[in-house]
Structure 1
Amino acid sequence: MCFDTHALVLELQNNGFPKEQAEAVVTVIANLTCANMESTYKDMVTKAQQEIMLQQIMAHLDSIRKDMVILEKSEFSNLRMENEKIKIELEHVKQQLADEVKKIRGDTKLDMNLEKSRIMDMFREREKQLMTAKNEFTVLNSDTDRAITETNKKIDTDVASLKTMLESLKLETVRYLAASVFTCLAIALGFYRLW
């Protein structure tokens, strides 16, 4: 036992328990403690058993360690071979990509040069058309200016001839009036003498 049962019985009696009841309580506590200890001891191992188990675990760990080293070496060599394959494939893809880029660059350059040449030809053609239109406009403009000048001259000539005709008509009208006035005067004088 790991505690003094008699001292516990006395302690319980001092606190108001009768002797039989105190002894019954201590007996129950002692039985429970013993059962608990037996259950605990049953699950425990001895030091010798513990040493044997430790040796077995260490042997098993050594075996696992050896297997891991072998596995690691074989896996490492497999990984290295796989890595080399991937490097070769990567170089191959890189070369193909570089070739494609060169091809696309060349095609693009050719297309750009062709487009540039086409645009330059179109620009020259438009420039020729513009020069032709400009020349036609200049000719039409000079023809229009000439026609306007001729029309102005003709109008000036017609206005001058109309002025001349108007002046001559005025002169004739004045002569006619003067002749009419002199004729009326002559007739009036003739009548005046007659009377």
Structure 2
Amino acid sequence: MAACKRAAQLGSNLGIRLSRLHKFDGSEVSPAVQRLRLDSSSTKLFSSLSSDSPFNRVDYRPFSQLAKSNGKRVFLVDTLALVRSLEAQGVPSKQAEAITAAITEVLNDSLENVAHSFVSKAEMQKSEMIQDANLSKFKSEVQSSQEHHFSLLQRETEKLRNDIEKMRSELRYEIDKVTAGQRLDLNLERGRIRDELANQNAETTNLTNKLDREIHGLRAQLEAAKYDVIKYCIGTLVSISAVGLAVLRILM
């Protein structure tokens, strides 16, 4: 009877621990740590039960002949050692088998609940692989997008550079064209001014020559008039002298 109470107390303690583990649902401790704690606690429980049995080294078998599996579950404990331990404590064989089956059922149900509540290592690795693949895909997409945008930026920059060079060449052509036109106009204006100056010089030369001719003509006329005046003066003086001499002769 005491062994039954002890087994029931151990089963209840195990159920409380499993319910607490299921309640926290891995919010504070990782699933691997919780599973390790569960395995260690169950191992300690059944090792403590089987340590008092004298058959644990002689009649050791993985599973009990009385507690049968339903085909869907695999016992995680040595049920035979547990049954022998309970029998050694004075529990009848049927009751020990029933207690062992109940504890195993509770343990398997709790482990199934824990397995359904937490993610397995394979699923976690699969999720990590998926996340890594998605991250690699995202990185490749970001890199390809950056390369695409960089190539577009390079093309736009090259296009702008070509447009600037084209505008610069057109502006240089227009400046050269305007400069050539201004130079041509300046040369034409310079030639026209030179021609006008030449014409003015020719006209000035003609006027100078004409004035010189006029001056020479006036000078010749003055010389001729002077000779005429002198001639008339001499004739007048000779006439006056002749008249005076005639008057003197008459008076004498």
TM-score bracket relative to the smaller structure: 0.5 to 0.7
Match of 1:115 in 2: 171
Shift of 1:82: 5.3
Match of 1:98 in 2: 154
Match of 1:140 in 2: 196
Pick from 160, 183, 187 the counterpart of residue 239 of structure 2.
Answer: 183
1:193 and 2:241 matched: no
Structure 1 residue runs of 4+, over 6 Å off? none
Shift of 1:103: 0.7
CA–CA distance in structure 1, aligned partners of residues 225 and 175 of structure 2: 72
Shift of 1:122: 2.2
CA–CA distance in structure 1, aligned partners of residues 30 and 169 of structure 2: 73
CA–CA distance in structure 1, aligned partners of residues 217 and 180 of structure 2: 54
Match of 1:165 in 2: 221
- Structure 2 unaligned residues grouped into runs of 5+: 1-26, 34-123
Match of 1:155 in 2: 211
Q: What is the aligned length? A: 133
- Structure 1 unaligned residues grouped into runs of 5+: 1-59
Supply the AA of the counterpart residue of 1:145.
N
Pick from 177, 183, 186 the counterpart of residue 127 of structure 1.
Answer: 183
CA–CA distance in structure 2, aligned partners of residues 183 and 90 of structure 1: 135
Match of 1:6 in 2: none
Shift of 1:79: 6.6
CA–CA distance in structure 2, aligned partners of residues 84 and 179 of structure 1: 138
What is the TM-score with the length of structure 2 in the denominator?
0.44
- Give the match's secondary structure for 2:177: helix
Supply the AA of the counterpart residue of 1:185.
S
CA–CA distance in structure 1, aligned partners of residues 169 and 241 of structure 2: 105
Shift of 1:165: 0.6
CA–CA distance in structure 2, aligned partners of residues 159 and 127 of structure 1: 47
Shift of 1:90: 2.3
What is the TM-score with the length of structure 1 in the denominator?
0.56
CA–CA distance in structure 2, aligned partners of residues 126 and 150 of structure 1: 35
Supply the AA of the counterpart residue of 2:166.
L
Residue identity over aligned pairs, in percent, reads 18
Supply the AA of the counterpart residue of 2:235.
A
